[in-house]
A and B are shown apart, each in its own frame.
Chain A
């Protein structure tokens, strides 16, 4: 072998060897907690359970697309995958839980540790449904079982999300933040709608006293989810749904689980941002994901008190999160902030202090610029822009594309005002009980008896 070839091979070998430790992953799967309530939700709420299988597909194909097709136009997710999801997968959801590694093949290789964190938390999600759906258990027994589930979940320290509430700064004020919601507002809204239902469904299971009312309550919540798909992204949640707002009874009774789920859903957004943001070089994506994963696992980074978490949740406004999961009016609530707006909060109290991106709709912002321009160029300048105070850089007027998707009232909203020159605006006052003010009368439940009730294609 010629000397220079040997040198080249040696350099290549050393380069590969240097990367080995960073690529060596020993994460592993663990079986769910064996219990008599296993798969109870699947047996009793077939339609809703299958929707969760479809949600798994949505999450997986999102990450796979973002990672494997970095140069694809926004339409790849916003039109092609979104259309496939809403017209095919959600309408005919898979009958069994999916093997996500077979969908997000390349993403799973990029960060198996983060994938494992999601899977482990999704198992907790599903097992909690099982407990709440089990008609054989008393409320006290359900409390005990959920405590056991949370303990089992937390026994895997290497993949368990922290049970300490995390500030929204961790989710949406990082250097890479907002790239996903800017470029893919429709898909982002769909993910938020998923998260709304994933936490919202606990509420009808918990607050209803009989099997029949639980069934009708679940059907209503599922029907509400479908309603959100009616006019995307306007009809989607405008903020990440927080468990304490969407499922307040559940969050009050099981705060640890609620906080874990909020952290889980926050990290979903973070991974999307890291993958979608071209300012994070591809060679840095894995490291950034692992860093974020570590911050979501530890009990010290970006933490706030449970009381501050509740206050922050209330100030974010349930009307901006898709509304309550039960006891809602027929119409979706009108958001009081622009789509994807970033509120700042006092981490000590949770109180809102202002807007870092977007703003309030009442007399304020006309909506996030999610038209073709912003979607196509979330580059460095755009990222810098989003981290500066929007007060001095008001968003451009809505494009023709974006105005098409917004309601008349939003379109006619006045031009944005510099937020820095106005006092911190809070959304419309939030009731302590998120159900109050949004109609105490439950919507008419979807047709009973049909386990697939609510599985209708979006308009």
Chain B
């Protein structure tokens, strides 16, 4: 729907939706109650929080992590904006293994019109192969993006990912590489939801342990799902900060340097971790 044809009431609703997203984020950040319980986890980086590249470790076994209000704002070429709220829940179900479910909500504001809705549902499993010794920490992940909501994909896209983490006294390095299977549908090719054939990238982070925060930066290459689209290079940086023993916050920004969707993005979020409420089997 062209922008100029959008009825005022729809524009009003869209603006309200955007404001609601912001309000939800601020409320979540400001109202983190002291009673929420979680463990120090600023060190355990997670994809998208704040950068794309993550470490090779899952959350702790028997941990339940809620990413309550992770907000992402993207501005792409042509002045189009995309707001996304990406709530996720991760569970440390098994030793060295986490199950994560995310349901991103997106708000697209582009020349063709505005739209709000669920942008698919993503289910992923990350398994750490080993703790770092002389051998770097290695991890593997598998995920599926399934059709859900008006902004979701038309078909299911499975993805495999490999993760490596190597720690030095002065910094930690992470390498990620992933490949997505399946042919793109025509609608998915137009989608603003990131769908890439493959992605490869590296990140570095520097921890300040007494202050419980880390700075991180990344560079990655993304090949869009549509074969004839050019390779995109992206860079980003951010911070993760342990607000309390229970809550970790993050913020970041980045640039898509090449490709058809050149622009910038910013993220802001918080994660709360609790333990599984049931006792372990003896």
Contact = CB atoms under 8 A, between A and B. Distances in A.
- Whether chain B is bound by chain A comes out as yes
Given A23-B134, A31-B92, A105-B167, A151 B282 contact: yes
A108 B57 CA distance: 14
Contact of A24 (B37, B92, B133): B133
A225 interface: no
The size class of the interface chain B forms with chain A is 35 or more
A101 B37 CA distance: 21
Nearest to A35: B275
B276 A34 contact: yes
Contacts of A25: 130-133
A57 B210 contact: yes
Contacts of A39: 37, 245-246
A112 B131 CA distance: 7
B245 A109 contact: no
Contact of B210 (A42, A98, A152): A98
A31 B62 CA distance: 5
Given A105-B169, A110-B133, A99 B209 contact: yes
By CB atoms of chain A within 10 A, which of B34, B129, B212, B214 has the most?
B212
Contacts of B169: 68, 105-106
B75 to A, nearest CB: 34
A30 B40 contact: no
B133 A32 contact: no
A270 B37 CA distance: 34
B245 A112 contact: no
B242 interface: yes
Interface residues of A, number: 44
A173 B128 CA distance: 38
B40 A23 contact: no
Contacts of B207: 99, 102
A102 B43 contact: yes
Contacts of A95: 212
A349 interface: no
Contacts of B63: 31
A96 B276 contact: no
B61 A29 contact: yes
A381 interface: no
A108 B135 CA distance: 12
Interface of B, secondary structure class, is loop
Contacts of A19: 134
A24 to B, nearest CB: 6
Interface in A110-169: 110, 112-113, 116, 148, 151-152, 155
Nearest to B96: A28
Contacts of B34: 43
B209 A103 contact: yes
Contacts of A89: 210
Contacts of B212: 94-96, 98-99
Contacts of B62: 30-31, 34
Nearest to A94: B210
A102 B171 CA distance: 9
A20 interface: yes
A97 interface: yes
Contacts of B92: 30-31
A174 interface: no
Contacts of A28: 60-61, 95-96, 128, 131
A201 B37 CA distance: 23
A33 interface: yes
B60 to A, nearest CB: 4
Contacts of A101: 43, 167
Nearest to A93: B210
Contact of B275 (A27, A33, A106, A148): A33
B275 A24 contact: no
A32 B39 contact: yes
A95 B130 CA distance: 31
Contacts of A20: 135
A24 B245 contact: no
Contact of B282 (A68, A116, A155): A155
Contacts of A112: 131-133
A87 to B, nearest CB: 14
Given A28-B95, A94-B212, A98-B209, A108 B61 contact: no
Nearest to B273: A31
Contacts of B276: 31, 34
B242 A29 contact: no
A109 B275 contact: no
Contacts of A57: 209-210
Contacts of B156: none
26 contacts: A25-B130, A25-B132, A25-B133, A26-B131, A28-B61, A28-B96, A28-B131, A30-B60, A31-B39, A31-B61, A32-B275, A33-B279, A34-B37, A34-B62, A42-B245, A94-B210, A95-B212, A97-B245, A98-B40, A98-B210, A99-B207, A99-B209, A102-B214, A105-B169, A110-B133, A151-B282
Instruction: In the A-B complex, list the 9 residue pairs whose CB atoms are closest, starting with the nearest.
Output: A34-B275, A102-B207, A31-B63, A112-B131, A102-B209, A29-B60, A25-B131, A99-B43, A31-B62
Interface of B: 34, 37, 39-40, 42-43, 60-63, 92, 95-96, 128-135, 167-169, 207, 209-212, 214, 242, 244-246, 273-277, 279-280, 282
